[in-house]
Amino acid sequence: MTGHPPATHEPHTGAEALETLLPVAAVLVLACGYLLLARRARSRHPGRPWARWRTASFLAGCALLAVALLPPLAPFAHGDFRGHMAQHLLIGMYAPLALVLGAPVTLLLRTLPAHRARRSAGLLRSRPLRLLAHPATALALSAGGLVVLYCTPLYDATAHRPVGHGLLHAHFLLSGYLFAWAVAGPDPGPARPGVPARLVFLGVAVALHATLAQLMYGGFLVSVHEPIPQVRGAAQLMYYGGDIAELLLAAALVATWRPARRRPGARAPGPSYRAAGA
């Protein structure tokens, strides 16, 4: 970490406007697609209406993405490392949790014909997805990705380049969604360990975020060439904002914990994708 003066930026160009409009258009498509699926689910299963709070949660996630990608936060993030960190928290932690609690996979399965739903559920049992959806893989991509980003020259190489900045946002969103889904997602998922094991993975994520924030605040082992007050402010945002997001994720996990009641001598049930899909 160094105290270099803030980088100067040219006025907004057409490319920068496009950089903002494209993600926002994608968010609108995502929200409208979810609403259409929810309407179709209500019409196909009038006796089992889709929970309104799940729709509200998914739309809240879309709104958080829009806040992160639109002014005033987006221009602020281009010129101030604290704005970048606020974007990271919204795109990579808060929005993914809200989107995951909307259970979009379950909603999609409910609207598909039976044969297509079975085929789609079969994809959840595929070996690549079993590896990708494991909490260890999700932890490596989300929290481990932050270590690579801030402790190597990667941040300086991508921060002020539109393509690199967009790829960075995509990584934040996808890895954050994957981790929230693997830890506390209501959607069916393959190779998902028990709740105690997932709490351990969540605890490791909390420790990694806290350690990285402390290293960033002290200027140790990080490779972010921005003014020192900005880096320290961003470290505080990561420390406290990340703690709140991870507490919310832990609450979502514990809220879905329903210990199975077993009769004496009964065999432990195996994984049931049919029940999960239902």
**pLDDT, tens only, 125-172:** 788 888 888 999 999 999 999 999 999 999 998 877 878 888 899 999
CA separation for the pair 268, 85 (Å, rounded): 45
Q: Tens digit of pLDDT for each residue in 34-74? A: 999 999 998 887 878 899 999 999 999 999 999 999 989 98
Measured distance CA(194)–CA(164) in Å, rounded? 37
Residue 4 near residue 231, CB atoms below 8 Å: no
What is the rounded distance in angstroms from the CA atom of residue 13 to the CA atom of residue 78? 13
Residue 275 pLDDT > 90, yes or no? Answer: no
> Which of these, 134, 125, 127, lies nearest to 273 by C-alpha position?
125
Which one has a higher pLDDT value, 123 or 183? 183
The H or E element that residue 83 is part of is: helix 81-89
